[in-house]
Amino acid sequence: MSEHPLLDQQFPEWVQADARPGYGGWLVQAAHLNDVARWLRDQAGYDYLSSVTAVDYFPEDRMEVVYHLYRSTGGSALVLKVVTGREQAQVPSLTPLYPGAEFQEREVWDLLGVRFVGHPDLRRILLWEGFAGHPLRKDWREPFFEEEVKPFKSRWPEGHVRRAEDGNPYGDNLQYPPDFDPDSWQPQGEDALYAKFQRRADEGIHTDTMIVNLGPQHPSTHGVFRMVVQLEGETIVDLKPVMGYLHRNHEKIGERNTFLQNMPFTDRLDYTTSMANNFGYALAVEKLMGIQPPERAEYLRVMMAELTRIMTHLFSIGFLLNDLGAFFTPSLYAIQERELILDIFEAVSGSRMMCNYFRFGGVVRDLPEGVLEKVKELVLERLPRKIDEMDAYLTKNEIVRGRCEGVGVLTDAQAIALSASGPVLRASGVPYDVRRADPYSIYERFDFDVAVRYHGDIYDRYLLRLDEARQSLRILQQVLRDLPEGPVMNGKPQHLVRVPAGEAYGRVESPKGELGFYVVSNGKPNPLRYHVRAPSFINLTSLATMARGEKIADVVAVLGSIDIVLGEVDR
Amino acid sequence: MNGWGIVRGMWVTFRHFADTYLEDIRRGRRRYRTAEGIEQRRRSDVRGIVTVQYPEEKLPVPEEFRYLPFLVYDEGPNGEQNLRCTACGICAKACPPQCIWIVRGSDPVTGKPITAPAEFSIDIDICMNCGFCAEYCPFDAIKMDHDYEIASVNRTQQHIFNKQRLMRPASYYASIRPTNAAREEAARSAKASKKPAAEGSTN
Ligand code: SF4
Ligand code: SF4
C-alpha cells in the first residue's frame, strides 16, 4: 500500500527499506532517528507511537529497536528500526518527542539492556537493582536454566520425574550482579526515584512537599502496585508508579515456548480478557503463517471477543465504584452478569478465565449444544436490560458525578502523545478504535459506532464503557444473525506449527486498549522474539498527567478509571 | 433536582433486595440445595440471589470443563487394565510448562522400546490445565478430568501424580464426557474397519 510515505526517498541518506524476506518497515540510522521521527510526527501525521521494543539477534552483534507508529486518524503501522551493537547498546530516546515511549523505553532498557540517550528517567521498571543482567538478551540464562527451548529432552523418552522446586531450591533461585551483597544493600533505587521529584523553589513562606507511598499493598491498587505521590497539602504535585511486583518475564517464557505453547500463557496476561489475548496472539502468528481461519471461526472469535468486552467493561465500572467507596454492591451486580458470560466461556473452552480457546487457523471447538441459545438469551434479552439498569443505577447519581466529573482530565493531545489507548483514549475525544482504524478479522462487516466522549475525565471514561458495551451488543446481534455453518478450524490440528521466518505485529482492540503481539520467527519451532504491547501498562504512562493537581483521595478513582490488571502490567 | 439520581439508584438496589425475597417465596424450598434450584439460579432470567452455597451446593460443570489430565484405560474381559497410552511422547512435547514426564517402556528380553509407558508422571503443581495433552494425543489416551477438589495436606509428597494415580477407566471417561467419548469411539471403529491391525507408534 502506498498510504505510507516512502522514507527512503524522503531521507535517502538516513533511511533504508528493510528488505529481509518476511520483514518490512524502515531501517533508520541511530543518529538521525529523532529527525526522521520529528518529520513523521509533524509533517506526515504519525502522531501515535504505539509500541517500542527490541530484538536481540545474538550471536550476531546486533540489536534492533523496533517502533510501531500510527496516525491517530487510522491506518496500518509504519515500522521503524534502529540497529545498534550488543555491547554498549544505545539509541536516542524518543520520549521527548513521544512522551508515551517513557515506560516502554525503560522496559527495553530493563529487559534488553539498550540505553536510551536523552531519556529523562532511565531506570529499571519491572525488575529491581539487585537483578543480574538483562533477561531478554539471548545469552542470559535463568538460575534454574534447563534448555534453550522447549520441548525439553529430559521429559521423554527417559523422563524420570523430579519436582520443579527441587531443581530450583529457595536461596539458589536467583543471581545477583557481581559486587552486589543483598545483606548490606541499601535501596538506592528509592533515592533515584524520589530524586526525580522536583523540589519547589522557595516562594515566600517555606513549605515542603511530602511524599506518600500508596501500595504496594494497598486495597485501591487492584493488586500489587505502588504509587509514589508527591503532595503539597492534599494536592498531588507529581506521581510515579512503581510496578513489576508480579513480573515473571512472560516474554522470556514465550521465547522458550513453541508458538502454540504460548497460547495458554497469553490467557494469564490480563486474566479478565483471555479471549481477547488469544485473539491478538493468534492474529500475529496467522499473519506470519499466512493462514486464515474459516468463516464460522471468525464469527465465533468475534462473539467471544465482544462478550469479553461487555463483561470487562461492566466489571471495571463495578470496581470503579468500589474505588469511589460504594463498596461492592455495584461490582457484585457486574459480577453477576460476568458469571453468566463466564458460564458460556466455560462450556465452550473448558475454563472460565484461562480460556485457551483460539488456535492458529481457527478455534478449538464449535459451540457445544445449548450454548448458542444461552448466548442469544443473554445478548438479545438480559444484557441490554442489565446495561440499562447499570446506567439507571449510577449515571445520574450525584455522588458519582461529584467525584468523577472534571477529575483526572486527560486532553486529546495528551492522550495521543502519551500513547494512551482504548477507553482512556476514546474518552478524551479521540475516536480511535483498532476495530475501525486498522480492521482485523471480520470487523469491517459489522455495523457499529466507535464510542467517543470528549471531556477526558473519570466520568467520561465511565460513560464510554457503557456506550461501548452497548455497541458490543450491536455487534453480537449481527454475529448471531449471520453466524454461518461450517468448520471451525482450517487444516489438521497440530501441536508443532511451521512458521516461516519474518516478523508480524498483530493487534486487537482489547477491552483495555490496543493489545499488540510483536512476533519474530526465524523458521524454528520457537519464536525468536515474542513481545506483548500491554495496554494496561502503557496506559499507566498517563497516570501522572491525570493525577497532577488532583486531591490525593481522587488518585484512587483515577487509577480505577484506567482499569489496569496487574497480570498484564507486570507480565 | 439534586438527590434524585441517588434515589433512582437506591430504587435499583431496593428492587434487587426485594427480588431475593420475592423469588424465595415464589420458588419455595426448591430454590436451595436442589439441582433444580441451582440450575434456576444460573439461567439468564434469574432474579434475586444467584450465589451458590459451596460446598453444600456445587455447580455442575459443563462437559468441556478441564482440570487435570488422567490416563484412560480400557477394561479387558478378565479385568485387565489396558492403558491406551503408547508412550509416543506427543503430550510431553506439547505440554507448555513441561510437567509431563514419561519413561518409555522396554521389552524385558530384547531391551527394545515398546509402545507402553513404564512410568508416567504429571507434576500437578506445574500443570496449567491447558488441555493440550488431551487435545493432541493421537490415541485418546489422556483426557481432562472434572474433579477439581484435589486439595492435599502434603505439597512436597503428593503433588506428583504417577501412572497409578492418573489411571481411570474408559467408562469413567464416557461418564464425564459422553459426547466426546461417543464421537471418538465412532471415529476409532470407522478407522478400524478401514484398515485392521495398523496400530503403531508415531513420533
Ligand atoms: S500423547 Fe497420548 S499416547 Fe502419546 S505419550 Fe501422551 S498420552 Fe501416551
Ligand atoms: S493440561 Fe496442559 S499443562 Fe497440564 S499436563 Fe496437559 S498439556 Fe501439560
3-state class (DSSP) for residue A146: coil
Cα of A315 vs centre of ligand 1, distance in Å, is 40
Interacting residues of A460 by C-beta distance below 8 A, sequence separation 6+: A427, A428, A453, A454
CB–CB of A340 and B2 under 8 A? no
Query: What pLDDT does residue B156 have?
Result: 84
Give the torsion sign (CA, B55, B61, B67, B70): positive
Bridge partners, residue A226, by sequence = A242
Q: How far apart are CA A560 and CA A558, in angstroms?
A: 5
Domain B69-188 has CATH 3.30.70.3270: yes
SS3 state at A226: strand
Q: Which of B108, B102, B97, B140 is nearest to B120 (CA)?
A: B102
Mutation for A interface: B16, B63, B93, B119, most A CBs within 10 A: B93
Give pTM, 2 decimals: 0.89
Average pLDDT taken over every residue of chain A: 87
Which of 84-143 (B) contact A at CB < 8 A? 87, 89-90, 92-96, 98-104, 113, 119, 121, 123, 125-126, 128-132, 135-136
Asked whether the predicted pLDDT for residue A268 surpasses 80, the reply is yes
Q: Where are the alpha helices (DSSP H) in A261-370?
A: 262-267, 274-289, 295-324, 329-349
The CB-based long-range contact list for A187-196 (8 Å cut-off, 24+ gap) reads A187/A129, A188/A129, A189/A123, A189/A124, A189/A128, A189/A129, A192/A123, A193/A123, A193/A228, A193/A240, A193/A242, A194/A228, A196/A121, A196/A240
Crossing angle of the two packed helices A295-324 and A383-394, in degrees rounded to 10: 20
Domain stop point among A86, A102, A117: A117
User: Which residues of A are less than 8 Å from B98 in CB distance?
Assistant: 150-152, 155
Beta-bridged to residue A177, according to DSSP, are none
Ligand 1 atom closest to the CA of B71, numbered from 1: 7
State which H helix or E strand residue A465 sits in: helix A458-482
Q: Is the CB of B95 under 6 A from ligand 2?
A: yes
Asked if residue A323 lies in contact with residue A560, where contact means CB atoms within 8 angstroms, the answer is: yes
Taking the C-alpha atoms of residue A450 and residue B12, their distance in angstroms, rounded to an integer, is: 29
* Confidence at residue A2, expressed as pLDDT on a 0 to 100 scale: 47
Diameter of chain A measured on Cα atoms? 78
User: What is the number of alpha carbons within 13 Å of residue B126 lying toward its C-beta?
Assistant: 20
CA–CA distance from A206 to each of A201, A216, A235 (Å)?
A: 9, 31, 17
Is A539 domain-assigned?
yes
Question: Would strands A358-359 and A362-363 be described as parallel, antiparallel, or unpaired?
Answer: antiparallel
**What was the pLDDT predicted at B203?**
41
What's the start-to-end Cα distance of chain B, in Å?
A: 75
Domain count, chain A: 2
Question: Distance between CA A48 and CA A537 in Å, rounded?
Answer: 16
Three cell numbers written together for B84: 491406551
What are A137-181's pLDDT values in tens digits? 988 888 788 888 888 888 888 888 888 778 777 767 777 887 888
Which tens digits make up the pLDDT trace of B8-44?
888 988 998 998 889 888 888 888 888 888 888 888 8
Q: For residue A409, what is the domain's CATH number?
A: 1.10.645.10
Statement: residue A410 has pLDDT above 70: yes
| Sheet with A210-214, edge to edge strand ranges | A210-214, A226-232, A235-242
Query: A88: domain CATH number?
Result: 3.30.460.80
Q: Where residue A282 falls among pLDDT bands split at 50, 70, 90?
A: very high
Q: How close is the Cα of B118 to the center of ligand 1, in Å?
A: 12
Taking only the tens place, the pLDDT of each residue in A62-78 is: 899 999 999 888 888 88
Domain segments of chain B as ranges: 1-59, 69-188
Residue A490 belongs to what domain range? 250-570
pLDDT at B45 over 90: no
The rounded Å distance from CA A259 to ligand 2 centre is 16
Q: What are phi and psi of A341, to 5 degrees?
A: -70, -40
Distance B130 CA to ligand 2 centre (A): 5
Chain centroid to CA A537: 6
A160: nearest CB among B9, B101, B123: B101
Structural domain includes residue A141: no
A559 lies in a domain? yes
Gyration radius from chain B CA atoms:
24
Residue A465 included in any domain: yes
- Ramachandran angles phi, psi of B150, nearest 5°: -125, 25
Report pLDDT for B26: 85
Residue of B nearest to A328 (CA): B13
CB of B90 within 6 A of ligand 1: the answer is yes
- Among candidate residues B67, B105, B61, the one with its CA nearest the CA of residue B85: B105
CA distance B135 to A493: 9
pLDDT at A210 over 50: yes
